[in-house]
Amino acid sequence: MTSAIVAENLWFRYPGSAPALADVSLEIPEGQFLALVGQNGSGKTTLAKHFNGLLRPERGRVEVSGTDIDGRATADLASTIGYCYQNPDHQIFAATVFEEIEFGPRNLGVTEDEVVRRTGRLLDLVRLRGEADRYPFSLGRGQRQKLAVASVLAMEPRIVIVDEPTTGLDWQGGQAMMEVMAELHRDGRTVVIITHDMNIVAEYAERVVVMANGRIVADGEPADVFVQESALREAFLRPPQAFRIARERPDLFASSLTVTQATDALRPVSVGVAAGGEA
């Protein structure tokens, strides 16, 4: 399998602080949906910023799609790996929603027809078609977040990194944003999200990497990581309530990760015990 990102033995330190990354290695296969979790200050955003050269390691190396990125400018990588900041307002700058989205591909030298096609498709994907002529800062927070993601996607990167896609959004807004992430994943892209929300990890991620104090303390499928209590405690995280319930009563809920799985697991019970304990 081809690797989207390979990080080898990364060390990084902000001036005057303890190491933010202490010998971190991580390999992300192409097409994976990975969640990076941990406390503020644990190193997760620092690590993600190494993937596209926003930060450069003191020691160690990063490969993106099989190429060492040492010496390559972040701007050159933008068509391969897109990075969305936690605060959408850090990247929004254009006068209209449409111009914000078309800026990236236009800058890459994409043909006019293609720019218009991409921008139109993304306006539909993030449901901002009706707002195309609006001033971006007049949009609500959720819409600005989606616009920021759309403007990164317009460069059609194979790898998308989104720092806290749902922070500041309500439940429906968060779900709409995660549906966009899921759509990218179905489309074969590598998706890396940074989040605090373990429900999102359970519902969307194929793999979760837990960071604490500049190191990876757990790495695996959500179901396997959620049982690693000491690692989670070190990162001040708790598995979703549904998982905690299912783990105590596997007889009722099997290996449910999410509330939907747990309630679905109960359905066969009401159909009748005679059907046999397959659930």
Please report, as ranges, the residues that interact with other proteins according to CB under 8 A: 39-41, 140-142, 167-173, 196, 199, 236-238, 240-242, 244-245, 248-249, 252-253, 259, 262-263, 266-267, 269-270
Helix (H) and strand (E) counts in the chain: 12, 10
Q: How far is the CB of 92 from other proteins (least distance, A)?
A: 18
210 is written with which tokens? 């837990």
Sign of the alpha-carbon dihedral angle for 259, 264, 270, 276: negative
Q: How far is the CB of 16 from other proteins (least distance, A)?
A: 12
Q: How far is the CB of 87 from other proteins (least distance, A)?
A: 10
Neighbours of 155 (CB within 10 A): 18
Q: In terms of CB distance, is 46 or 119 closer to other proteins? A: 46
Q: How far is the CB of 141 from other proteins (least distance, A)?
A: 8
Q: Which of 166, 104, 178 is nearest to 141 (CA)?
A: 166
Q: In terms of CB distance, is 166 or 190 closer to other proteins? A: 166
How many Å separate Cα 194 from the centre of its chain?
5
* Helix, coil or strand: residue 200: helix
Q: How far is the CB of 14 from other proteins (least distance, A)?
A: 14
DSSP state of 50: H
Give the relative orientation of helices 241-248 and 259-271 as an angle to the nearest 10 degrees: 40
* Helix, coil or strand: residue 196: coil
Q: In terms of CB distance, is 2 or 270 closer to other proteins? A: 270
Q: Over the Cα atoms of the chain, what is R_g?
A: 20
* Helix, coil or strand: residue 194: strand
Q: How far is the CB of 168 from other proteins (least distance, A)?
A: 6
Q: In terms of CB distance, is 39 or 96 closer to other proteins? A: 39
Q: In terms of CB distance, is 58 or 170 closer to other proteins? A: 170
For 99-126, the DSSP string reads HHHHHHHHHTT--HHHHHHHHHHHHHHT
Question: How far is Cα 279 from Cα 277, in angstroms, rounded to an integer?
Answer: 6
Q: In terms of CB distance, is 83 or 243 closer to other proteins? A: 243
Q: In terms of CB distance, is 62 or 232 closer to other proteins? A: 232
Q: How far is the CB of 241 from other proteins (least distance, A)?
A: 4
